[in-house]
């Protein structure tokens, strides 16, 4: 999927929008006509995004928010409802890698941080905006996963467990809405030139990887009005949709 959808008049919420893939998704969705609600902790990154979107003639609303502030996530849905009355697109992109360490040596605070940001905060966001997506004529939810959710990779217990949980949560949510107009899918971005990737694989040459903009360009079409897939995983490196384990290596 590479064709950019027409998102004119759409309202899109993107988490983790201050850098990396989330930043580029927000930028590209704004360029396609969407008003982007950009959520992230880093104010500077959000302001830079806002400048770029406005310079290109687009519109954005910045929401500086730490996803560990779960009650703030709960309030966000109400704010969106009051101002816009609905939400057309959710991109649940934000996540943290956490410590890569043996399961038996993992610190409780590190495991809990990964689960809070990657799982609990994503569920709270889904719960907060689900009623608003239902009010859209073509609600679209894109939840960022990873291939490690479907394989046993030593030392990745925290991150892999969080992504496996998110995969099941998203699939169940999709199944619950299978008869309606909403389309709810997962995406595996694959290896991408991001700060998280550099943290995870420090010896890798960044220039050997796709840029965040290149990866985002394959994800944005998942918001298209004519999309029929739901409850699936879109694998960016292979441009394929799948129901089961992701085919690409980490």
Mean pLDDT score of the chain, rounded to an integer?
Answer: 93
Q: What gap in Å lies between CA 9 and CA 157, rounded to an integer?
A: 41
pLDDT, residue 209, reads 76
Q: Give the residue-averaged pLDDT of 218-231.
A: 97
Pick the more confident residue, 81 or 209.
81
* Cα–Cα distance list, 121 to 72, 96, 166, 202 (Å): 10, 12, 10, 27
Residue 108: DSSP 8-state: H
Q: What digits encode the pLDDT tens for the residues 86-131?
A: 999 999 999 999 999 999 999 999 999 999 999 999 999 999 999 9
Model pTM? 0.94
pLDDT, residue 171, reads 96
**Active-site residue numbers?**
159
Q: What digits encode the pLDDT tens for the residues 162-171?
A: 999 999 999 9
Q: Could you give the count of Cα atoms lying within 13 Å of 65 in the half-sphere of its Cβ?
A: 24
| 77 burial level (CB within 10 Å; 0-12, 13-18, 19+) | buried
Q: What gap in Å lies between CA 193 and CA 88, rounded to an integer?
A: 28
Given a contact cutoff of 8 angstroms between Cβ atoms, the answer to whether 94 and 121 are in contact is: yes
Residue 120: DSSP 8-state: I
- Is residue 155 over pLDDT 70? yes
């Amino acid at each position: 999927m590479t064709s950019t959808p027409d998102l004119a008049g759409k309202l899109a919420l993107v988490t983790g929008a201050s850098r990396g893939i989330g930043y580029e998704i927000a930028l590209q969705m704004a360029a396609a006509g969407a008003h982007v609600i950009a959520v992230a902790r880093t104010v500077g990154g959000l302001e830079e995004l806002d400048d770029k979107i406005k310079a290109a003639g687009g519109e954005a609303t910045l929401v500086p928010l730490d996803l560990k502030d779960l009650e703030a996530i709960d309030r966000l849905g109400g704010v969106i409802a009051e101002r816009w009355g609905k939400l057309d697109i959710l991109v649940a992109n934000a996540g943290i890698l956490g410590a890569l360490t043996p399961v038996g040596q993992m610190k409780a605070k590190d495991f809990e941080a990964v689960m809070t940001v990657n799982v609990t905060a994503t569920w709270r966001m889904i719960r907060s905006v689900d009623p608003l997506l239902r009010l859209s004529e073509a609600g679209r939810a894109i939840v960022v996963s990873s291939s490690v959710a479907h394989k046993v990779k030593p030392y990745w217990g925290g991150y892999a467990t969080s992504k496996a949980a998110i995969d099941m949560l998203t699939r169940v949510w999709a199944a619950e809405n299978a008869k309606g107009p909403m389309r709810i899918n997962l995406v595996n971005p694959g290896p991408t030139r991001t700060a998280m990737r550099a943290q995870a694989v420090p010896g890798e040459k960044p220039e050997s990887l796709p840029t965040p903009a290149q990866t985002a360009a394959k994800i944005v079409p998942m918001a298209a009005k004519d999309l029929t897939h739901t409850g699936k995983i879109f694998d960016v490196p292979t441009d394929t949709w799948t129901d089961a384990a992701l085919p690409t290596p980490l």
